Amino acid sequence: MRLTSAMGRAWGARRLQDALLAERERWPLWIPVFLGIGIAGYFSQASEPPGWLGPAGVLSALGFAWAFRNEPRGFLTLIGIALAAAGFGLAQIRTHWVSAPILAEPVRSAQVSGRVKSIETHARGVRVVLDEVAIEGRRERATPKRVRITVYRSGDFRPGDHVWMRATLNPPPRPALPRAFDFGRQAFFQGFGAVGFSANRVQVLSRTYPTFPHSIGQQISALRLEWARAVLGETPEARRGVAVALLTGDRGSIPERNLVEMRDSGLAHLLAISGLHVGLFAGLLFTITRGALALTVPVALRFPIKKWAAMISLAGAFAYLLMTGGTIPTQRAFLMITIGLLAVVFERVALSMFVVGWAAIGILIVTPESLLSAGFQMSFAAVIALISAYETLAQRIQIYRSRGRVWRQVCLYMCGIVLTTLIAGLATAPFAAFHFNRVATFGLAANFLAVPVMAMWIMPWAVVTYLLFPLGWQDLSLAPMLWGIGAVLDIAHAVASWPGAARLIPVLPPVFLTLITLSGLWLCIWTTKLRLFGVLGLVAALLSGVFVDVPDVLVDERGRMLAVRLDDNRVTVSSKRSSFVRQSWLRALAVSKTASWPEIGADAASVNRCDPLGCLFRLKGRVIAFSTDPRAHPEDCKTADVLVSSRPVRVSCQVPQVVIDRFDLWRHGAHAVYLDGDAVRVDTVSRHRGRRPWSP
């Protein structure tokens, strides 16, 4: 029996080895995957690792790989470890490179001066990024090098100007709850050491004209602002806000209501400049340029007009990248199109999946932190899934297309839209559920209607608008472009209003994202039956998402706002004021509407009640006390199982299983409390952030 089992295992291992050898041409596609594993390992550390760890890991793994160079399995394993260590080291280097002072405590109404680096539109003003910052009463060493300030009364200033204002500044905020989006980490890698707002008008101290290369970025920023204002005109509206987003990448002018409708209908990706937009922009330029050159017979006969068109299209795509802000999805799309157009120039065939791989390697080397962003994950998930699917279906599609009837071509196009939308939607849905706690139920229907409008009407007019802007004639092409945008917004509004259009998902565990990512890559990278093992990982990921651990109590880092999940699964929040923290909590708890918070002076016999000193809730057989006044502490310490206080607790408090006071919130950030049977668990923001350069 043992001999049979051993033979079976040996046969299975041999078949697996043969399958891997048959896929040897796809091995390089795992380079960015192992780099990503190392980067993820760096960011998962609770404290900053020593600087030598990454380089030492690379050198050690390469040394052992050389020793095992005649043993394929050992050699490949060690190369994978070396790549992971390289990713770890790249993240270390990037962190050290961008490290800059972070504001330690809030600064109220201080005089702030600096040079305007960039300006973006905002719902109630503009959002200004300043460098060369000086803050009243602060030493230069403790002053952030760059700050972002929302200005409600903008004034007449441009990128490059030195300005002065009176502003309130705060350190970049910590996550709203444990395992939530970390804006502080994002701000650290973007170079912001503080964020804030200014209500007074900005005063220009001097207008400067910086030298190369700094002048290029500021001139581009000024041009983006000028075009955005020209498109918005005197009467900003949703259609014009979307036009600004498509032309400059600035979505600050789009009303929140329309953004929600685009998300709920599954059309939010049309607002993010990605492969669809860059591909259409470059493709239209290529077609227009090649057609124009072909009209000149001597040029068409004597010169390689196809290569010329490819280079002009590449230059146009690069300009579009700069004008739209160069987000991660835009960078990925541009890198892929660059490789494809260069393949046209050098008469080579572009291998699509390898193009994606090289694009991922380039982005991870330059900005390793982008691995953690939703834009990176969703953009690459959609592209990889689409390429893998069409690689599998390519032969069948070609046979169907070769039969040549017009109705077949139309059917193929319509089926292509449906299939592309379905594949991209399925590929990005897990990431949308993890990062945004929602999935668009009717995204297929919305995209089936809206994507052709974007591809065949809006983007062609966008290209024409770009060409007419220098002449001041942009209104000629902007009008039909706005018609198409209006149609897309109408589709988004109609689909978002359908019952159950957006399905809310509670906060998912990190293991869900890990399993989804690795199994999806396994399924898409391989081409033989070996890929089917990825299905097991996908099933495991979905099962991990079923057992979601939802907190029963949430407390913000100041103890001013509370959320409670009642015994009937309704959620009540102490503040009705819309804020980022409140919205983050509702998404994490997968609720759109809340129950009323108990009013002060209500029936004292009720299960949940409030008085001037605090509130009392009974959840799962336990008493939860929320105190806002130290006079309530002696009684709460005798009766409560969990005590949460916005003030320091200075009395002996032995009865409660958990006590969370002002000092705990100040040290550890927002708290989440879980009532599990007889135990009470507490999770904090600092537990997941650790002691890192972006969380001092």
Q: What is the DSSP string of 629-657?
A: SGGGHHHHHHH-SEEEESS---S---S-S
How high is the pLDDT of residue 486?
Answer: 93
How high is the pLDDT of residue 525?
Answer: 92
- From the list 81, 83, 80, 89, the residue with the least C-alpha distance to 53 is 89
Higher pLDDT: 631 or 396? It is 631
Residue with tokens 């795509």: 317
Q: What is the DSSP letter of 532?
A: G
Name the helix (H) or strand (E) containing 624.
Answer: strand 622-627
- Three-state DSSP class for residue 96: helix
pLDDT band for position 6 (cuts 50, 70, 90): very low
Q: Tell me the per-residue pLDDT of 403-415, one tens digit each, with 9 for 90 and over.
A: 656 666 677 767 7
How high is the pLDDT of residue 661?
Answer: 93
Residue with tokens 């929600």: 260
pLDDT band for position 7 (cuts 50, 70, 90): very low
How high is the pLDDT of residue 364?
Answer: 95
Q: For residue 519, list its beta bridge partners.
A: none
Please enumerate in sequence order all residues whose Cβ is within 8 A of that of 407, keeping only pairs 6 or more positions apart, or say none.
none
Q: What is the mean pLDDT of residues 668-693?
A: 91
The tokens of 120 are what?
Answer: 């973006």
Of 200-209, 374-383, 434-443, where does mean pLDDT reach its minimum? 200-209
Average pLDDT, the chain: 86
Residue pair 419/465 in contact by the 8 Å Cβ criterion: no
Please state whether beta strands 571-573 and 194-198 pair in parallel, antiparallel, or not at all (unpaired).
unpaired
Residue pair 325/249 in contact by the 8 Å Cβ criterion: yes
pLDDT band for position 156 (cuts 50, 70, 90): confident
How high is the pLDDT of residue 3?
Answer: 39
- Three-state DSSP class for residue 272: coil
Please enumerate in sequence order all residues whose Cβ is within 8 A of that of 315, keeping only pairs 6 or more positions apart, or say none.
none
Rounded Cα–Cα distance for residues 119 and 121 (Å): 7
Q: Provide the whole-model pTM.
A: 0.89
pLDDT of 130 strictly over 50: yes
> What distance lies between CA 565 and its chain's CA centroid?
28
- From the list 696, 687, 540, 693, the residue with the least C-alpha distance to 180 is 687
Q: What are phi and psi of 247, to 5 degrees?
A: -90, -30
- Three-state DSSP class for residue 434: helix
pLDDT of 9 strictly over 70: no
Residue with tokens 């050898």: 21
pLDDT band for position 522 (cuts 50, 70, 90): very high
pLDDT of 1 strictly over 80: no
Q: Tell me the per-residue pLDDT of 80-96, one tens digit each, with 9 for 90 and over.
A: 999 999 999 999 999 99
Q: Tell me the per-residue pLDDT of 589-643, one tens digit each, with 9 for 90 and over.
A: 988 888 889 888 666 556 788 988 999 999 888 999 999 999 999 999 998 999 9
Rounded Cα–Cα distance for residues 283 and 658 (Å): 61
Helix, strand, coil % (nearest 5) of the chain? 55, 15, 30
Which one of 152-156, 198-202, 445-449, 641-645 scores highest in mean pLDDT? 641-645
pLDDT of 211 strictly over 70: no
pLDDT band for position 10 (cuts 50, 70, 90): very low
Which one of 33-37, 180-184, 261-265, 456-460 scores highest in mean pLDDT? 33-37
Strand order in the sheet with 553-555: 571-573, 562-565, 553-555, 671-676, 679-684
Q: What is the mean pLDDT of residues 454-477?
A: 87
Q: DSSP letters along 125-176, please?
A: EEEEEEEEEEETT--GGGS-SEEEEEESS--S--TTEEEEEEEEEEPPPPPS
Rounded Cα–Cα distance for residues 174 and 153 (Å): 27
pLDDT band for position 14 (cuts 50, 70, 90): low
- Output the 3-class SS for 395-416: HHHHHHHHCCCHHHHHHHHHHH
Rounded Cα–Cα distance for residues 694 and 668 (Å): 14
* DSSP strands (E only) in 277-408: none
Angle at 67 between CA 87 and CA 22, to 5 degrees: 70
Q: What are phi and psi of 595, to 5 degrees?
A: -80, 165
- Three-state DSSP class for residue 111: strand
Angle at 401 between CA 397 and CA 405, to 5 degrees: 150
Q: Tell me the per-residue pLDDT of 292-329, one tens digit each, with 9 for 90 and over.
A: 888 887 888 788 888 888 899 999 888 888 888 877 78
Output the CA torsion sign for 555, 560, 561, 564: positive
The tokens of 282 are what?
Answer: 């470059």
Rounded Cα–Cα distance for residues 106 and 170 (Å): 4
Residue pair 74/68 in contact by the 8 Å Cβ criterion: yes
Residue pair 642/553 in contact by the 8 Å Cβ criterion: yes
pLDDT band for position 284 (cuts 50, 70, 90): confident
